[in-house]
Structure 1
Amino acid sequence: MACNLSRSRLGQALLSVGLLWTTGCLSFLHPIGAPPRDLVKPCDQLPKPCRDHVYIFFVNGLDPVDYGNLVGLRDYVQKMGFHKTYYGQLYHVPYFESEMCKIHKSDPDARFVLVGFSLGANLVHTLARAVADDGVQIDLMVYLSGNHPVAMMPRDKPDNVCQVLNILASGCMKKFGERDYADNLRLEHTCHFGSPTHPQTLEVLCTALTHIAAQAPGVLPPDEFAPTPLLEEAPRPRPVTPPRTAQRDDWDFLKPVGVLRPPDAGGADSR
């Protein structure tokens, strides 16, 4: 009986772990609180249309369970007032490329920010190159723990990228990953999966986003212009009296007698 009970508990434990692993529910291991007021205030002072011109694309790496909580970072950015956010896995990059080109055509004032975690850092670099031929400029590209052992970090900055922020974890890769073309930030006492939720990451990223939004025009993007309000009741047409003429035409005999005017005395024949 005790053996069967132990097996039952073991099975339940394995099932619970399996469900967490397959549904990406491990983000709670790296929680993120609400943004502090001193970080939100400068962003709140900007007109909402300025923030709505900023489009942020998050690309996750080999982290299907979201252990690094990149989704939490996206939610944190949304709480800052940036609602034009996209989140995806490695296989969403082709869709992101198509979406960025569409946005570039519909919103000429769009500002693009790419954030890649782990192997996603390599993918956002590829994504930036892919949209260069369409004239898309990347205002900011962020590497989160790009110093991973799976693939080497990109060695150059695409020509259409204005700024690269390279946020590096410590741990076993603490001596690797810095790039001359990027602003390098080494997080102390942080593992690979801890970089997306690190306080320094949140502060630096949100400050950069606020700076980018401040450069955007304070007008609504094309797809958000408010429709012209319709009148509840159409105005009644103003009555217009047709002009009268004293000269008769050949069709006067068809008109009612009441609307005919007598001919001018000077024009009548005297008999």
Structure 2
Amino acid sequence: MDPSIALLAPLALLASAAAAQAGDPPLTRYTDPQGVTYQARVWSLPMQQMTAANATVARRHIAWSVSGTLPAAPVDVTMMCPVAPGGQVGAGCDVVGLNADSVVARTARRQVESVVPRLAGYPAVGADAAVRRYVRFPLRIDPATRPAVNLDTGEMVAAKLLPPLFKLGHYELPPRFARDGGTIDVLCQVQADLSVLCRPAGSSPPEIAERLPVDWANRRSTAARVPAKLTDGRPAAGKRTTITIRFEPDR
């Protein structure tokens, strides 16, 4: 299973855990995968785990959406995340002792990148400080945290009954499409906790959707939370809608 998924929750707890740390840990010598030896200060944190209490359905779904086969049973891994000069926990976390291209490691990096906010809580240092700083913690990845999601079911409603979910900028399109314009259709579904999952549902010209990363829609919709009711008074959970994003040609 993959560490990244659990990073959703663990790092949500890092700030409070950091506050409990007294002073700086001692310098320890490490060797990176390229064989370079360096000294670092590393704060050790207790076991962390992603749960429904600290990650939305949308975020948990994406945390499990990786190519490759993950173990069916819970897996414990060790995570190392950098602490920036300002004291924030960075998103560039690594899985200790695993091949960087493994399913677990790839999932961990992806989830750290897309769902882990930067958290404060550690001492600030000068930007030119030579000593690296990290937080290290065991992470449990449990298949029980994987939500059941089916974007092919649910009543279709008019997009105007929901608030705007996201918009895409020209900078995210290949140059030709940003220049010529076009449209992208996105199918979105409201989850039980009112988070939102989306996927591309067509485009004009068709090459637009073909050139975008397969997960671009979800990367832009997982932060959305919609009201419990549609504007017509019906419950929003479970409803689906199609949104058309239009791109005007650059002038």
TM-score by length of 1: 0.19
**Relative contact order, higher structure (CA 8 A, sep 6+):** 2
Structure number having the greater helix percentage: 1
The structure whose residues are more often strand, as a share, is: 2
Larger Rg: 1
